[in-house]
């Protein structure tokens, strides 16, 4: 359960953590997801992950894309590129076909 609140004209997310209210920027919440994904990738690869290409929905506007990039920085990643999910799917499909040959 969460609530969207206004803080200085900016939408923030209010959650209850250990019985106390905590207000976070959307970028902070996204960075938590990216941090977890970074940890999973590092455990799988057995080495530190420093750079990333992040996918976003095709309908994201420039501000949402920048916020996603900011979330990557918060999580300790150098976001090399932000690409649309359909583009990422096409690239993955092409890479998969290439390995079959």
pLDDT tens string 40-54 = 999 999 999 999 999
Reading the chain (101 residues) residue by residue, the pLDDT tens digits are 899 999 999 999 999 999 999 999 999 999 999 999 999 999 999 999 999 999 999 999 999 999 999 999 999 999 999 999 999 999 999 988 876 66
- The reported pLDDT for the residue numbered 101 is 62
The full set of domain ranges for the chain reads 26-100
| b/e 45-70 (16+ beta carbons within 10 angstroms → b) | eeeebeebebbbeeebeeeebebbbb
Residue 16 class from Cβ within 10 Å (0-12 exposed, 13-18 middle, 19+ buried)? Answer: exposed
DSSP letter at 90 equals H
**pTM attached to this predicted model:** 0.82
pLDDT tens string 65-78 = 999 999 999 999 99
For the domain with range 26-100, which CATH number is right: 2.40.33.10, 3.30.420.40, 3.20.20.30, 3.40.640.10?
A: 3.30.420.40
CB half-sphere exposure, 45, CA atoms < 13 A: 10
């Amino acid at each position: 359960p969460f609530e969207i609140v206004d803080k200085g004209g900016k939408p923030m997310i209010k959650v209850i953590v250990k019985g106390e209210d905590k207000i976070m920027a959307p970028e902070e919440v996204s960075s938590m997801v990216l941090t977890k994904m970074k940890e999973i990738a590092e455990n799988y690869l057995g080495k530190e992950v420093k750079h990333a290409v992040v996918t976003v929905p095709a309908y994201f506007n420039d501000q949402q894309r920048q916020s996603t990039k900011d979330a990557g920085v918060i999580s300790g990643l150098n976001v090399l590129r932000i690409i649309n999910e359909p583009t990422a799917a096409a690239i993955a499909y092409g890479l998969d076909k290439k390995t079959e040959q």
